[in-house]
Structure 1
Amino acid sequence: KPQTALNNGNYDAAINTAIENLQSNKTKKNKQPYVLMLEEAFAKAVSKDMQDIQFLERDGNPANLETIYNTYLRLNDRQERIRPLLPLPVLEENRDARFSFDNYTDEIINVKNRLSAYLYANASKMLNESNSKFDYREAHQKLQYLNTINPNYQNTVLLMDEALRKGTDFVMVNLSNETDKVIPQRLEEDLLNFNTYGINDPWVVYHNNPLDNIHYDYEMRIAFRSITISPEQVRERQLVKERQVKDGWQYLEDEKGNVVKDSVGNPIKVDKFTAVTCNFYEYTQYKSVQVQGQVSFNDLNTQQTVNTYPLTSQFVFEYVYANYSGDKRALEDNLLILLDRKSVPFPSNEQMIYDAGEDIKNHLKAIISKHRF
């Protein structure tokens, strides 16, 4: 019911409902409940907002300035949404609905300036007196909001850059190969290309080529401990397939060996089937690589290891081909396809390690997403 929100003190919800219903045919009699509801809800909403502002101003806590500022914006926005609908007739009382509009411009500017000064001072204090990255990030958030409500206030943009720099965790990335195998250069480059990991944390920056002018907070070490490559194998499997296949036709005969005829006297022909056999030889080329390692995060300020994660990956090369002897009509379609294949060269060890790279990257991405500094 339209009155429910109003009776529950949800004045803006009631206002929204009324405005939505008065967008068209606002003078119709069936729209009168919305006109009266809008009139009452607006008066009560304004009264409540002004009481809240008065209380918060008397409290004198500058932390309340954002709430006061937003309340004035709401007061202004509310009346500007109603203004295009006016006049709204109250038919039974032969009058127009009454809305007491005010100009809040001075109040909005005044509170915005006080709020700007408070946010600026608060953020500046955090940047100058704190040693916590979380405080720097909160300062950045305050300055971002300040720059939204009051663009280019003093040197806000410069302070935002400072807060971003101070609040960022800079991570130096090192990759070490402790195995007896060679890691392909292009795989190493792929693994260290952090632009491809889709990292969404703006407060963590990874560098695999450290810069001299940056103080690094953490080291991420990717260490490959073992790379095991299986021998090249060809596994053979033999199947004997038998099948009844169509092999011409013959006349249908009854139990006594007489040819059966149809209703007009013609001999009836039926398909003739014969049993065929095929020896099917399936060959599976197989080679696998297993990579094992560890990802560790070290705090460079305390020289302590913060966390370690296992890094394992496996890649399997498997290729199937076949040949046969006998009558290939005995084979199913899925086996016939394999007869068109021939053996292929096995991938080199280097290629096997590189092919494991995509899986390694997925594991690394999961570790990076899970780890919190």
Structure 2
Amino acid sequence: MKKITSLLALFLIITSCGVKQTRELLTSGDYDAAIRNAVDGLRGNKNAKGRQDYVYMLEEAFAKAKERDLRNINGWFKDANPQNLEKIYETYIQLNFRQEQIRPLLPLKLLKEGRDAQFPFDDYTDQIVSSKNALSKYLYDNSKALLVTKDKMTIRRAYDDLVYLESINPGFKDVAKLTDEAKFKGTDFVSVYTKNETNMVIPVRLENDLLDFSTYGLNDKWTVYHSNRQKGIDYDYGLIVNFRQINISPEQVKEKQFDKEKLIKDGVKNLLDANGHVVKDSLGNPIKVDNMKTIRISIYEFSQTKACQVTAKVDYINFKNNQLIETFPLASEFVFTNIYSRYKGDKRACEETYYPNFDRKAVPFPSNEQMVFDTGNDLKAKLKDIISRNKFRR
């Protein structure tokens, strides 16, 4: 019984909160949100006494929302501004949608008044069709006019209008073709290339890898990067990777020698007393103890190193006026290291983690070209970060 009472109390609390929130939405003029809340509250047992508040508020919110929308539509028609056509169409859609939200719940009883709640529905089919046709014509004509301009931001607005037009009126005239045209004309095309201002040859592999923008994932809705110029494209911007300096250190081999020692167990031995006699247990058996001994090792460690530093800058160029927009520093370093060791003595005297060094040998140093190429991964990551953080249009 207590459990049932607790559940009932919880239900009443939840219902009370929902009613309060719906009333606040209604009094604040957010009629559609109030309608959504009321509809949700009436799902299930719609005729329960505890849900009567929802019915009253739904009736009031519907009437006020409808009156407001029809009043707005009337004002937009009188204004005769074609930019209001979308508002008119969307409002008719909302008027119809609002009715369809409520329709499955009908009839709804007002128990105290002994009547059904009033929801005067209208058929908006003709208004929706006529407003959609008027809006479609306006969007189509206006978009075609915008596509004639040279301003990419204006063309992008035309693209958005055409996409919207296709969504409300699929297959309308040649909208698909115009949408593709707007997408192309509204796109910023960026030509990416390198310049070598150093006294060294940049490996072709590095240039190709650095300019392989298909691996960067940087193309977005309105920006496309090309490392190879394509015919028929008027490029808007240039992204130039200028190699300024390449420093390669001499090949170095350093040697160092160090000793280690460790106390280890080497079997067992008899325990002796202070006089050198064997100590025995109660059964007369000699007592055994660990036989500890010190082992030593001399290690000869060789370290091969060679370093490469690449310094560059990334220039953003506006091709429309041939002006430098901004410059960003770009640098990377790659260090080749190979450590190998030889030893004399007992290998166990050093840490096991050091053992792999004993298995390594001297290797040929990488060429200068390979060293420069090996900076590539770090350069690509840093270049991608620069481009991701610094768009051409901000």
TM value normalised by structure 1: 0.88
**Matched residue, 1:3:** 20
The answer to whether structure 1 residue 350 and structure 2 residue 375 are counterparts is no
Identity %, equivalent residues: 51
Does the CA-based 8 Å contact 1:277-1:326 persist in structure 2?
A: yes
Q: Pick one of 285, 288, 297 that aligns with 2:304.
A: 285
Q: What displacement does 1:313 show?
A: 1.5
The answer to whether structure 1 residue 120 and structure 2 residue 137 are counterparts is no
The answer to whether structure 1 residue 102 and structure 2 residue 125 are counterparts is no
Q: What displacement does 1:210 show?
A: 2.3
> Could you say if the C-alpha distance between residues 7 and 258 of structure 1 is closer, same or farther in structure 2, counting changes exceeding 3 Å?
farther
**Matched residue, 1:16:** 36
Q: What displacement does 1:327 show?
A: 1.6
> Structure 1, residues 59-101: CA drift from partner, whole Å, max 9, x if none?
3322222222222222212221222233333344444433222
**Matched residue, 1:333:** 352
Does the CA-based 8 Å contact 1:3-1:14 persist in structure 2?
A: no
Q: What displacement does 1:21 show?
A: 3.1
Paired residues, what number?
A: 372
**Matched residue, 1:314:** 333
Q: How does 1:36-185 map to 2 (within 5 A)?
A: 36-128=56-148, 130-185=149-204
Q: What displacement does 1:198 show?
A: 0.8
Q: Pick one of 214, 219, 241 that aligns with 2:238.
A: 219
> Could you say if the C-alpha distance between residues 136 and 256 of structure 1 is closer, same or farther in structure 2, counting changes exceeding 3 Å?
same
TM value normalised by structure 2: 0.84
Q: Which amino acid aligns with 2:128?
A: I
Q: Which amino acid aligns with 1:243?
A: K
> Could you say if the C-alpha distance between residues 83 and 282 of structure 1 is closer, same or farther in structure 2, counting changes exceeding 3 Å?
farther
Q: What displacement does 1:263 show?
A: 6.8
Q: What displacement does 1:367 show?
A: 2.8
**Matched residue, 2:3:** none
Unpaired runs of 5+ residues, structure 1, are none
Does the CA-based 8 Å contact 1:3-1:37 persist in structure 2?
A: no
> Could you say if the C-alpha distance between residues 13 and 261 of structure 1 is closer, same or farther in structure 2, counting changes exceeding 3 Å?
farther
- Counterpart CA distance in 2 for 1:142 and 1:249 is 91
> Structure 1, residues 314-360: CA drift from partner, whole Å, max 9, x if none?
11222222222212221112112322323333222222222211112
> Structure 1, residues 197-221: CA drift from partner, whole Å, max 9, x if none?
1114332233333234222333332
Does the CA-based 8 Å contact 2:219-2:225 persist in structure 1?
A: no
Q: Pick one of 275, 281, 292 that aligns with 1:273.
A: 292
> Could you say if the C-alpha distance between residues 79 and 270 of structure 1 is closer, same or farther in structure 2, counting changes exceeding 3 Å?
farther
